[in-house]
Structure 1
């Protein structure tokens, strides 16, 4: 990742004196510039630091850790004492280090829609509904409906089956609800097309 390489080059450019002259400053990086790599200690894992550009390193050695991809998000394995390493989301580490602990009922939003872009300027805390609205309003994404929604209890094909069963006088809505492990009210709303209306 760029911040890792930039940081290593920056350290070499400082040399033994520990100072960096104006002539030695890396292209695009200036002291006082918000794009300069900045590191902060991770409170929950004090042996590690996280940068505003999305990297994680061991504080003592300065070695940058390898990140793993998980469904588009960047993960990193961190140790606390002698315990088994725990994989954590890099975007969460950055927001907690540079902004605040995660507020109640909030989650991380990647402003540009790129889950792998963990630059601090691209991250913010939002509620789930705000996050969804942001993706519709600013990223042009369609709302998740039906089985595509993460909390859906039924599949599209099951909804079609339910509608057929509701049209058969042999089955009560209570029996159908028990069969699909949902409430009777949910079956009624599906039958009346007040829920899952997009499924024909």
Structure 2
């Protein structure tokens, strides 16, 4: 991190980390302020849980606390949320598995295994139902859920088609009430497979 600090003094303006533990973030931040941390975060993968995010200072984070504790620190570390559509699940539901190529690593993830996938179909159906009520797509609803986690959260869906880009941008118009967020938390907590 000391060498990275030298870069900041020269040409680099900000430092970000990816998949860093709270202890790593604390050590790095002691050398130079960390601007953002990239983590997997979606309704499908909720390791950055809002109930675990209320720490005021980096020195209160311990190694044994979940990585989610980096959220909402007084130091202003932003979250760059990758796989915000649950590795494609909230764009296609269980039918996504049919499109997996032979080498697609998602085939090995527990949430896509037959027993869990059968259960998780109902999760997608509930998200889809709520999306219909809100006048949006399941993808937009999943992204809106992240947008409503705070203005320091930036989801980065892996978008390869212009139509999907436009759909994802549409998520910015989806407004969620406190009741909507509570409903989505209940839906998301039903996901099976770590």
Higher normalized helix content (fraction of residues): 2
Q: Same fold (TM over 0.5)?
A: no
Give TM class, smaller chain. under 0.3
TM-score under structure 2 normalisation?
0.25
TM-score under structure 1 normalisation?
0.24
